[in-house]
């Protein structure tokens, strides 16, 4: 479990394809290496990965075909920068929001609008992801805990403050870049539960409730 508060920006040192359709990802994690052991969980760009080996300040991760198919990790190359977060410790102060590191899908940066020291970023997502986002709700973008600033038929907006732009890779976003999206786990659970109820009720659908103003 993570919080979406990034601990450091790290550099990809190696990306090696394996014979099974996966990759071995090597990331320079610096001082954090001393607290990571093989088998530990680490969030890289919002994706929960398992440390394979830790040596000389670098951590290696096996990234399987399933993870590559539903995240943006497959486009990473040597020299790219990624967001890194270690798991939440019991008893620690909880900032951000609960982030599992289980990415729901990939979004694409559609537009970046400067606003003084701030930026508004529009992110395109498919309809399935869009239906799980709510205005003022939480969302993780490349592992960064953010608030949904608005919804469009093509995706959603987030507003980035100077601190976030400085200490995460979101300050280096460009139009067309792919990003990992994880929606709020509470919204996902509620939506699934309501869907099960609605499916059991003849004639009652999400579209009808939405048209009536209930969701």
- The CATH code of domain 8-85 reads 2.40.30.20
Write the secondary structure of 31-93 as one string of H (helix), E (strand) and C (coil). Answer: HHHHHCCCCCEEEECCEEEEEEEEECCEEEEEECHHHHHHCCHHHCCCCCEEEEECCCCCCCC
Cα distance between residue 182 and residue 100, in whole Å: 8
Per DSSP, the three-state class of 27 is strand
Phi then psi for residue 156, to 5 deg, are: -145, 165
The CATH architecture one would assign to domain 105-183 is: Beta Barrel (2.40)
Which of 29, 28, 27, 39 shows the shortest CA–CA distance to 7?
29
Phi then psi for residue 79, to 5 deg, are: 95, -15
Provide the CB-side half-sphere exposure for 137 (13 A, CA): 16
Q: 8-85 with 105-183: one CATH topology?
A: yes
Token pair of 112 as six digits: 């970046």
Residue ranges per structural domain of the chain: 8-85, 105-183, 186-215
Q: Give the pLDDT of the chain (215 residues) as one tens digit per residue.
A: 899 999 999 999 999 998 889 999 999 998 888 899 999 999 999 999 999 999 999 999 999 999 999 999 999 999 999 999 999 887 777 788 889 999 999 999 999 999 999 999 999 999 999 989 999 999 999 999 999 999 999 999 999 999 999 999 999 999 999 999 999 988 887 777 776 766 665 565 667 667 766 66
Cα→Cα distances 185→95, 113, 188, Å: 16, 28, 5
- CA-based max dimension of the chain: 61
List the helix and strand counts (H, then E) for the chain: 5, 12
Task: Report pTM.
Answer: 0.88
Per DSSP, the three-state class of 107 is strand
């Amino acid at each position: 479990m993570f919080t979406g508060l990034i601990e450091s920006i790290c550099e990809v040192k190696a990306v090696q394809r394996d014979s099974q359709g996966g990759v071995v990802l090597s990331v320079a994690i610096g001082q954090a290496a001393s607290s990571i052991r093989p088998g530990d969980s680490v969030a890289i760009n919002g994706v929960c990965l398992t440390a394979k080996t830790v040596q000389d300040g670098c951590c290696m991760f096996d990234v399987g075909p399933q993870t590559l198919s539903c995240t943006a990790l497959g486009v990473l190359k040597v020299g790219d920068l990624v967001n890194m977060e270690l798991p939440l410790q019991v008893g620690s102060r909880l900032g951000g929001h609960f982030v599992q590191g289980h990415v729901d899908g990939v979004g694409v940066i559609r537009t970046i609008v400067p606003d003084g020291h701030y930026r508004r970023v529009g992110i395109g997502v498919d309809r399935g992801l869009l239906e799980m986002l709510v205005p003022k709700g939480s969302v993780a973008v490349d592992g960064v805990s953010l608030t949904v600033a608005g919804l469009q038929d093509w995706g959603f907006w987030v507003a980035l403050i100077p601190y976030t732009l400085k200490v995460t890779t979101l300050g280096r976003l460009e139009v067309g870049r792919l990003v990992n999206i994880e929606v709020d786990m509470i919204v996902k659970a509620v939506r699934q539960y309501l869907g099960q109820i609605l499916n059991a009720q003849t004639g009652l659908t999400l579209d009808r409730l939405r048209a009536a103003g209930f969701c």
